[in-house]
Amino acid sequence: MTASFFSVVIAIIQKDLQAELRSRELVATMILFSLLSVLVFSFALELDRVAEEQAVSGVLWVTIVFASLLGLNRSMAMESDNASIDALLLAPIHRGAIFAGKLVSNFVFTVAVGLLLMPLMSLLYNLDLLAWWLLLVVVLGTLGICVTGTLLATMSLQSRSPAALLAIVQLPVVLPILLAAVIASNGIIGGTPNSDWIDWVQILAVIDVIYLSLCFLTFAYVIEE
Amino acid sequence: MSEASSIIEIEAVSKAYGYMPVLKKLSLTVQRGQFVALLGPNGSGKSTLLKMISGLVKATAGTITVGGWSMPQEAQAVRPQIGMVSHKALLYDNLTARENLLFFAKLYNVHQSAPIDELLEKVGLRKRADSLVGTFSRGMQQRLSIARALLHNPHVLLFDEPYTGLDQDAGAVLDNLLIDAHQAGHTIMMATHQLERAARLADRIVIISRGEVGYDHTRRLSSAEIGTLYTETTGAASAR
C-alpha cells in the first residue's frame, strides 16, 4: 500500500523543518538579508519623512520577495545537493504531495521573515505596521510568492545556474501579487478607509487560488522529465 | 505478464536527448534473481537505461515492463518494486542516517515495519545511526544509500556506478553488500566500469556500445576475457 497524500506532505514538511532547525542556513540567511535591507532603506529614506511613509510598503514587499528568493534557492538546493530529488521521484508518491510539502515548508520560512519584519519596520520607520489586515496581506502575498517560487525553483533546478534563473523568471510572475499587496499595504499603513483597498486583498486571494491551482496541476510535468 | 521468470523486459527502446540518440532500439530481458553487469564506455547509455527502468527518464520509443507493469504508464505500481543506488547519495546531509531512512520509509509507507536498525547494522552504520550524513565519508554515504534502497524490500536493485569515489576498503564492503543482496534473491542491474568486479559478482555480462547491446552472455567470464570482449565490442580500451 502506498503512502497517503497527506502523510507524504507531512513527512516532507517534517524533514525540511528538522534539517532547517539543525543547520539554520535558510532562515538565518533570509533574516540577515531582511535586516540589512530594511536598515539600508531606513537610512536611505531617513531625511525625507514623507517619502519614508510612502515607501514603507514597497520596502516591506521588496524585502519579502528577495528574501523568499534566497529561501527558495536554498530549499531547492537541499533537494539537488545529493540528487535527493531523484529519491523523491523514485518513491511511489503523488507528485502533488512533493509540491505541497515543499510549498508549506517554503511558506513557513518566508512568512516567519515577513512577520519579523512587521514589528522591526514599525520601530525603524516609526509607523504602526502591527495591524491584522496587514498581517492577512502579508500571509496572502507570501503564499502567492511561495506558490510560484516552489514551482519555478523546481524548474530552475535543471539549469546550470538555478539561482539566477529563478530570480529572472520569478520576478515577472509575482508582479500581479506585488501590485495587489503593495496597494493594499499602502492603504492599511496609511490608515485610509477599508473600502479603498479591500478589493486588492480580495484580488490577492483570487490570484493565490489561480496560481495555486495552476502550479499544483503543472508540477508533475515540471518535475518529471 | 509474459514469462513468469522474467522481471524486466525492455523491447526496442530508444532514447534521444534532443537530436542526440543515446539508446537505439535496445532490447533486453532480465530474469528474476539475475545479477546483470552493464558495461560500456562513458556515454554508451548505461545510466540512461537504468534511469528509464526506474522511471526517472522516459523512453523516446519502445516499451519497458517491470514485474509485468509498463513504464511509465504504470509507474506507481513499478516504483515500490525498485531500489536505486546512484553514484550520488540521494540522501539529505542535514539529517542523521536514521532520520534519512525513517523519512524514506514514510514515503514508501513502511515506516512501521521497516527494519531500520537491522539495515543500519547490515551496512555497518549502527554506531553512526545518529550522526549527520553530511559528516559521512563517501563510502559510508554509499552504504547508507544501499540501506535506503533496501528499505522497502524491492524486487529489483539498480546500481549506477556505485563504486565511483570509493577506496579499496569501501569497495570491498560494497562488494559484500551486493553479494548479500544477490543471495537474498534481489534482481540486480549494475552499471560499472570495473570489469574485475563485474566478472566476480555478476552472473550475466551485457556490454552496451553506441546505444545498442554489443554483447550479452550469461557465461561466467574472467576479467581478462571480459576486457578482451569489451575492447572488441566497444573499440575502447578497458579500464580493469
pLDDT on residue B237: 59
Q: Each residue of A140-149: pLDDT tens digit?
A: 999 999 999 9
The rounded mean pLDDT for chain B is 89
- Chain B CB contacts of A83 under 8 Å are 86, 88-90
pLDDT on residue B90: 93
Q: Is A158 on the interface with B (CB under 8 A)?
A: no
Q: Each residue of A21-38: pLDDT tens digit?
A: 998 888 899 999 999 999
- Chain B CB contacts of A82 under 8 Å are 88-93, 141
**Segments of chain A with pLDDT less than 50:** none
| Beta pairing, strands B187-191 & B204-209 | unpaired
- Provide the terminal-to-terminal Cα distance of chain B, rounded to the nearest Å: 38
Task: List, in sequence order, every residue forming a beta bridge with B66; answer none if it has no partner.
Answer: B8, B69
Of A27, A28, A38, nearest to A61 by C-alpha is: A38
B78: left (phi over 0), alpha (psi -120 to 50) or beta: alpha
pLDDT on residue B238: 56
pLDDT on residue A132: 93
pLDDT on residue A126: 85
Which residues, numbered 34 to 73 in chain A, qualify as contacts with chain B under a Cβ-Cβ cut-off of 8 Å?
none
Q: Which residues contact B226 (CB under 8 A, 6 or more apart)?
A: B39, B195, B198, B199, B205, B238
The yes-or-no verdict on residue B111 having pLDDT over 70 is: yes
| Rounded-to-integer distance, Cα B179 and Cα B75, Å | 28
Is residue B3 very low, low, confident or very high in pLDDT (cuts 50, 70, 90)?
A: very low
Is residue B1 very low, low, confident or very high in pLDDT (cuts 50, 70, 90)?
A: very low
Q: Each residue of B23-76: pLDDT tens digit?
A: 999 999 999 999 999 998 888 899 999 999 999 999 999 999 999 999 888 999
Number of Cβ within 10 Å of residue A159's Cβ equals 12
| Beta pairing, strands B82-85 & B6-17 | unpaired
Mean pLDDT value across residues B155-183:
89
| DSSP 8-state code for residue B81 | G
Indicate the SS3 state at residue A172.
helix
Contact A82 B56 (CB under 8 A): no
Q: Interhelix angle for A95-125 vs A132-156, to 10°? A: 130
Long-range own/partner contacts, residues B181-187 (CB < 8 A, 24 or more apart):
B181/B146, B181/B150, B181/B157, B182/B33, B182/B35, B185/B32, B185/B33, B186/B33, B186/B83, B186/B154, B186/B155, B186/B156, B186/B157, B187/B7, B187/B8, B187/B30, B187/B31, B187/B32, B187/B33, B187/B34, B187/B35, B187/B155, B187/B156, B187/B157
- Provide the terminal-to-terminal Cα distance of chain A, rounded to the nearest Å: 26
pLDDT on residue B28: 93
Give the ipTM.
0.89
Joined together, the cell numbers standing for residue B55 give 522511471
Which residues, numbered 56 to 95 in chain B, qualify as contacts with chain A under a Cβ-Cβ cut-off of 8 Å?
56-58, 76-77, 79-80, 82, 84, 86, 88-95
pLDDT on residue B183: 93
Mean pLDDT value across residues B78-104:
94
| Rounded-to-integer distance, Cα A173 and Cα A154, Å | 15
pLDDT on residue A48: 76
The yes-or-no verdict on residue B4 having pLDDT over 80 is: no
Amino acid identity of residue B49, one-letter, is: L
